[in-house]
Amino acid sequence: MIGTAFLGFSEYSPKWYRYINYYNRNYLDIATRKLGYSISNSTFYSGRSSRNYTSRRFHRTGSNKDISPVVQEFLKEKNLNPVFIYENLNNQETKYTIKRDVDNISGIYLIFNKVTSDYYIGSASTNKIYSRFYRHLINFTGSKIVKLAVKKYNLDNFAFIILELFPEEVNVENNKKLLDLEDFYLKSLLPNYNILTEAGSSFGYKHTEITRIYMKANYSEERRESIGSLNRGKTISEETKAKIKAKALAITEPRTLSKEFLDTMKKNSKGIVLYNISNNTLYGEYPSILEASKSLNCSDKTIRRALKTEKK
């Protein structure tokens, strides 16, 4: 899994404990009555803590036989007790069900690859959960890594899971609380489909499954053929050739940057290394935050925030 560090409440802090209790007392009863689901008592376990918090969850009425064994095993391994679990995502009825269930609610979701056991975690504000589902898994305008994985393994090999509902309607004032809740899950579960950064050693570099997906997508035969066919069969007139030659000959010596200027740029630039903190496996190196942002398809602000977060 990809190593990182996050902002958010400490899982041991009284503030986080009060927040969880507030969540349990106030929201789930209201949401359950609204949506018409049965309530069951359960215990929530942090992925990094032996402490537990008694919480109440609601699920679709039915047995665990409706959930595939691989998803059940994943939830058991991670000590998760989600609110909703959706499989058979290529089924149109499933999409309708998701849209109906998550209407006007907010919270934390997880996208699970049932073949590789890789997963992605995100948050969605009020009435945005279905939009996140659709962007990531249907029209592929969300996470690039999720998109490439779905294209490789097919949509029916993924599950969409609602881990937690947020206890308030999200607005400008309380949006930070939703992000804190997301950070808590990210910190606890360390999802390897989320692109996160941390400076560290380049020892032990090797290509991962995620890297291979990128490479295959970028250098597929279809892509090479499309590039090669751009000028195939085209002819250039002698007049056009003469103009191109004259323009090329008219070009003066290109301007070069001084060695001092380049050295200053390198000195001020911050290199980025993406690696797994558990085994020091390197996933990529980038000369600057901007280059990392472009390559990983994420905001440079996200990278800067991760770099400033205290590392564990």
Name the class of domain 14-189. alpha beta
Quote the pLDDT of residue 49: 33
38-45 and 52-59 strand pairing: antiparallel
The pair of structure tokens assigned to 285 is 């190196």
Please tell me whether residue 122 adopts helix, strand or coil conformation: strand
CA-based torsion, 257, 261, 267, 270: positive or negative = negative
Give the model confidence (pLDDT) of 231-252 as tens digits: 566 666 777 777 766 766 665 5
**pLDDT tens-digit map of 84-122:** 999 999 999 999 999 999 998 999 999 999 999 999 999
The helix (H) or strand (E) run that includes residue 284 is strand 282-286
Q: What is the dihedral of CA 62, 72, 210, 284, to 10 degrees?
A: 120
Cβ(142)–Cβ(136) below 8 Å:
yes
Residue-range domain boundaries for the chain: 14-189, 195-220+257-312
d(CA 179, CA 168): 13
Amino acid present at 309 = T
Q: What band does 295 get if pLDDT is binned at 50, 70 and 90? A: confident
pLDDT exceeds 70 at position 63? no
- What integer is the mean pLDDT of 287-296? 77
